[in-house]
């Protein structure tokens, strides 16, 4: 438990109100733990109930999503939108489509999003949404009917100045397109209500690449400042083979690293010569196939069933880019035993608390998701700006802004950790730096929410 009586009281309240929501409780605990010195130094936080308010979503919307499959059978999924905090801007956060989605998962993601969005230095609040619908194995028409039904309800709660959703696991360009089409049909307005849109209808150049590229810009800066080192000549392992993983691979390679392993939810591939990214893109982006297909196309590569084995592959830099809690303590120890020097979280909360503790006590540089994967939402905010201006920047302009933002996030997190006596602890630094701005805005606005 915490040393602060205030923090213990706040956390007990969260546990009582959200029983059994393990992902949400894990995310809240981690943030409160980091905020201990901030709470001690600022009695105004307790006087104004800032923490009690920040752990409770401003609004939660759960809704029925009925849709009809190609055989005419009716299915019902559950839709979620959690509008967590609007102190510094309209709610912003992705839509996750995956069978594992439930209230706890969406709340943990929405809560983390508050601090991540604040760290970008752009005016965006925190939110998240999704459904337990699984797009895998569905036809395009089935996905379209689901997305239209989902948006029919969601459209009542979002808007370009209210709440601007984006993609996440299972929600890529295809799903965003169907949702945007339905929003426009219902509301008769062409506004930037979603980000991650196609380039022909308001999307931003470099948004597709942004989370993976941003992750590598962050890790490069961390290596540079904390170890006087870089990606150059390093062996890299990346879990996942979706949007974040693919573009992390591209940028890590451009920066001089060699990516030797990638995965999907069934297993992982190892290619000692360096993964051929064009083959992975063809299998995952074009054919929507399984990663094991890689070994049929590239000689010398291996495939192994199961996800966690990827962390036994020897590497200097590990970039988990699949899903939450994918690195447990055993996997962390395997990485450490193999000499890993840096871990950068591309996925949200991919390391369990025990894994994070193991990395930190072994002196491994650790870049937490909130800071390291903020490039996606930052570029989404740049997409919002371009939509408002009815203008578009070049790829190079957006990429340069993204790089500047990631370097800035690193230094803000690094400096905040140092200021509160937690030097080199970027988990604490990111939580503190993200929190301070939101708390200041909440204090200024009175007890509004
Ligand atoms: P995608 O759906 O494009 O890819 C997800 C990848 O992770 C796939 O390879 C998928 O395998 C694998 N995966 C999904 N669930 C599991 C699981 N339970 N176990 C093992 N592997 C799994 O999603 P994204 O790349 O967009 O997102 C990946 C992570 O990054 C998520 O945590 C997301 O929240 C986070 N993130 C994404 C951002 C973005 O801009 N897209 C921004 C910030 C964070 P399979 O192909 O078998 O499904």
Which of 99, 171, 243, when mutated, tests ligand 1's pocket best, judged by the most ligand atoms within 8 Å of its CB?
A: 243
Contact between 218 and 409 under an 8 Å Cβ cutoff? The reply is yes
Question: Which class for 287: exposed (0-12), middle (13-18), buried (19 or more C-beta within 10 A)?
Answer: exposed
Chunked in runs of 10, what are the mean pLDDT values of the chain (449 residues)?
96 98 97 97 97 98 98 98 98 98 98 98 98 97 98 98 97 97 97 97 97 98 98 98 97 98 98 98 96 98 97 98 97 98 97 97 98 97 96 98 98 97 97 98 90
Residues 6+ apart with CB under 8 A from 235: 257, 258, 260, 314, 315, 316, 317
Per-residue buried b or exposed e for 129-144, using 16+ beta carbons within 10 Å of the residue's own CB: bbbbbebeebeeebbb
- Which residues share a beta bridge with 168? 171
Please name the residue whose Cα sits nearest to atom 46 of ligand 1.
264
Helix axes 140-154, 173-187, angle to 10 degrees: 50
- What pLDDT shows up at residue 404? 98
Contact 244/375 with Cβ under 8 angstroms? no
Atom number, ligand 1, closest to the C-alpha of residue 284? 46
Please, what is the end-to-end C-alpha distance for the chain in angstroms? 27
Task: Tell me if residue 401 is catalytic.
Answer: no
Q: Are 122 and 89 in contact (CB under 8 A)?
A: yes
Helix (H, G, I), strand (E, B) or coil at 353: helix
Ligand 1 in contact with 131 (CB < 6 A)?
no
- Tell me, yes or no, if the pTM score tops 0.85: yes
CA of 348 to the centre of ligand 1 (A): 9
Residues with Cβ < 8 Å from 448, sequence gap 6 or more? Answer: 442
- The side-by-side arrangement of strands in the sheet containing 258-263 is 302-305, 267-270, 258-263, 235-239, 317-320, 342-344, 365-367
Angle at CA of residue 196, ends 190 and 200, nearest 5°: 55
Q: What is the distance of C-alpha 309 from the center of its chain?
A: 23
What pLDDT score does 84 carry?
Answer: 98
CATH number of the structural domain 210-367: 3.40.50.720
- Any ligand 1 atom below 6 A from CB of 322: yes
Catalytic residue among 128, 197, 284, 422: 128
Question: What's residue 411's pLDDT?
Answer: 98
Does residue 319 line the site of ligand 1, with CB under 6 A? no
Q: How is domain 59-190 classified at the CATH fold level?
A: Rossmann fold (3.40.50)
Token reading at 439: 């708390």
The residue ranges of every structural domain in the chain are 59-190, 210-367
- What beta strand segments (E) does 345-407 contain? 365-367
Q: State if residue 346 touches ligand 1 by the CB under 6 angstroms criterion.
A: yes
Nearest to 206 by CA among 366, 434, 404: 404
Cα–Cα distance, 249 to 290 (Å, whole number): 18
- Please name the residue whose Cα sits nearest to atom 4 of ligand 1: 242
Tell me, in angstroms, the distance from the centre of ligand 1 to residue 249's CA. Answer: 14
* Confidence at residue 449, expressed as pLDDT on a 0 to 100 scale: 66
Same fold, 59-190 and 210-367: yes
Pick from 367, 416, 442: nearest CA to 37: 416
Are residues 100 and 125 in contact, defined by beta-carbon separation less than 8 angstroms? no
Decide whether any atom of ligand 1 lies within 6 Å of the 171 Cβ.
Answer: no
The answer to whether the CB of 327 is under 6 A from ligand 1 is no
Contact between residue 348 and residue 371 where contact means Cβ atoms under 8 Å apart? no
Name which of 302, 345, 340, 288 is nearest 322 in CA terms: 345
Task: Tell me, rounded to whole angstroms, the distance of Cα 378 from its chain centroid.
Answer: 11
> Half-sphere exposure (CA, 13 Å, Cβ side) for 63?
18
Q: How many CA atoms lie within 13 A of 447 on its CB side?
A: 9
CA distance 287 to 440: 48
């Amino acid at each position: 438990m915490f040393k602060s009586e205030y923090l213990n009281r706040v956390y007990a309240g969260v546990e009582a109100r959200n029983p059994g929501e393990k992902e949400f409780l894990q995310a809240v605990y981690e943030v409160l733990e980091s905020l201990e010195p901030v709470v001690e130094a600022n009695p105004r936080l307790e006087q104004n109930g800032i923490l009690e308010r920040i752990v409770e979503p401003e609004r939660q919307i759960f809704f029925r999503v009925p849709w009809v499959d190609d055989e005419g059978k009716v299915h019902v999924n559950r839709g979620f939108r959690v509008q967590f905090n609007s102190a510094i801007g309209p709610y912003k956060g992705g839509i996750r489509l995956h069978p594992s989605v439930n209230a706890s998962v969406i709340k943990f993601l929405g809560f983390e999003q508050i601090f991540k969005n604040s760290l970008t230095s752009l005016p965006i609040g925190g939110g998240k949404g999704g459904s337990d619908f699984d797009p895998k194995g569905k036809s395009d028409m089935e996905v379209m009917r689901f997305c239209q039904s989902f948006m029919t309800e969601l459209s009542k709660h979002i808007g370009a100045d209210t709440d601007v959703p984006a993609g996440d696991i299972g929600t890529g360009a295809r799903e965003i397109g169907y949702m945007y089409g339905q929003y426009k049909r219902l509301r008769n307005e062409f506004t930037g209500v979603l980000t991650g849109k196609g380039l022909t209808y308001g999307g931003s150049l470099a948004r597709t690449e942004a989370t993976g590229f941003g992750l590598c810009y962050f890790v490069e800066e961390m290596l540079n400042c904390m170890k006087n080192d870089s990606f150059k000549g390093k062996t890299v392992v990346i879990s996942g083979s979706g949007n974040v993983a693919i573009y992390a691979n591209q940028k890590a390679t451009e920066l001089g690293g060699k990516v030797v392993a990638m995965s999907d939810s069934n297993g992982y591939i190892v290619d000692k010569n360096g993964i051929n990214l064009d083959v992975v893109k063809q299998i995952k982006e074009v054919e929507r196939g399984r990663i094991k297909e890689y070994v049929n196309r590239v000689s010398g590569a291996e495939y192994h069933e199961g996800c966690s084995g990827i962390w036994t592959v020897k590497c200097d830099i590990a970039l988990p880019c699949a899903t939450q809690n994918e690195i447990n303590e055993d996997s962390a120890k395997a990485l450490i035993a193999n000499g890993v020097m840096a871990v950068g979280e591309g996925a949200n909360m991919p390391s369990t608390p025990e894994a994070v503790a193991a990395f930190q006590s072994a002196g491994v540089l650790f870049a937490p998701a909130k800071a390291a994967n903020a490039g996606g939402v930052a570029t989404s905010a740049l997409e919002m700006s371009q939509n408002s201006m009815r203008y578009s920047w070049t790829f190079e302009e957006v990429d340069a802004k993204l790089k500047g933002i990631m370097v800035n996030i690193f230094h803000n997190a690094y400096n905040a950790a140092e200021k509160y006596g937690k030097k080199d602890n970027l988990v604490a630094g990111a939580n503190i730096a993200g929190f301070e701005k939101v708390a200041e805005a909440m204090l200024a606005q009175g007890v509004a929410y």
